[in-house]
Amino acid sequence: MPDRTLRPLERPLALGEQVYHALRTQLRSGAIVAGQALQEVQLAEQLGVSRTPVREAMARLASEGLLASDRRSFTVPALTRQDVDDIYEVRHLVEPAALSRIAPLTAKPEARAPIDAALADAVAADRVADSNAFRDANARYRAAWLALVPNARLVRAVELYADHMQHIRALTLGDAQVRKIVLRGLKRITAALAAGDGDAAAAATHLHLQQAHRAFIAVTGLNGRQDAGAGSNTQ
């Protein structure tokens, strides 16, 4: 009789999945700039893989809107004003709900500890005007509260649209005023989470997104250059 205590072995991620995560990490870090063409052969050589998993990974990233394809090559798309407005509209729908849901958990200091630590690091980075450290702390803050969200589909939605904003963050978090606005928002959200108040957490998140949206639009010069057909929503 087989041993009933045996469990299926964990399999490593498929090669295409590994390439996908490697490229997505590069996109999140801002290492690949908007408009930069991604060369399939070069990436395959750098990663030590064949062209097939690279092609599959880039096609997947393109389906998520993180890359653009003209059938000959893939590039990082430059976001338009309409793109930014659309992304923030989705973020307004999903992020307040997610933070409201975890508020009962974050009233406990031990559950909130990674969130508090990331916020403290953001404060420290802003104090010395280290935009790279601030961007890293901001990403860890989001990862810390997302780790408490039980709905995996909701987590994926938040992560996807956060990744869409990565290049704007790389451009704008070097601006001291934008960092101050982001920091004030994170502090308000954290205070609501510490109180275990889901409604306050949702309201603080709405305000944070609204103010960050306006600040990013102004700093990137997209203000007043909205695409034809776009609405006037600046939330």
Domain boundary among 24, 48, 75: 75
Q: Are residues 91 and 202 in the same domain?
A: yes
* CATH code of residue 170: 1.20.120.530
- CA torsion through residues 128, 130, 136, 138, sign: positive
Q: Are residues 136 and 202 in the same domain?
A: yes
Query: pLDDT at position 4, please?
Result: 52
102 occurs within a structural domain: yes
Can you tell me the distance from the alpha carbon of 126 to that of 120, in angstroms, rounded to the nearest whole number? Answer: 10
Residue 173 belongs to domain spanning: 81-220
Query: pLDDT at position 147, please?
Result: 97
225 occurs within a structural domain: no
Domain boundary among 57, 75, 93: 75
Query: pLDDT at position 215, please?
Result: 86
98 occurs within a structural domain: yes
33 occurs within a structural domain: yes
Query: pLDDT at position 235, please?
Result: 35
Query: pLDDT at position 7, please?
Result: 56
* CATH code of residue 51: 1.10.10.10
Q: Are residues 60 and 148 in the same domain?
A: no
Query: pLDDT at position 2, please?
Result: 46
Q: Are residues 113 and 181 in the same domain?
A: yes
Query: pLDDT at position 163, please?
Result: 78
H helix or E strand, kind and range, residue 147: none
- Beta pairing partners, 37: 75
For residue range 155-171, what is the model confidence (pLDDT) as tens digits? 999 988 877 777 667 66
Size (the chain), residues: 235
235 occurs within a structural domain: no
Q: Are residues 37 and 129 in the same domain?
A: no
Domain boundary among 75, 98, 125: 75
**pLDDT mean values, one per 10 residues, the chain (235 residues):** 49 78 80 80 90 91 85 81 90 96 96 98 96 91 96 91 74 85 96 98 97 86 53 36
Answer yes or no: are the C-beta atoms of 213 and 88 closer than 8 Å. yes
Q: Are residues 191 and 140 in the same domain?
A: yes
Q: Are residues 27 and 122 in the same domain?
A: no
Q: Are residues 98 and 55 in the same domain?
A: no
* Number of folded domains that form the chain: 2
Per DSSP, the residues of 158-194 read: HHHHHHHTHHHHHHHTTSHHHHHHHHHHHHHHHHHHH
Q: Are residues 149 and 51 in the same domain?
A: no
Q: Are residues 67 and 157 in the same domain?
A: no
Q: Are residues 70 and 154 in the same domain?
A: no
67 occurs within a structural domain: yes
Q: Are residues 85 and 107 in the same domain?
A: yes
200 occurs within a structural domain: yes
Q: Which residues contact 40 (CB under 8 A, 6 or more apart)?
A: 51, 54, 55, 58, 73, 74
Answer yes or no: are the C-beta atoms of 89 and 233 closer than 8 Å. yes
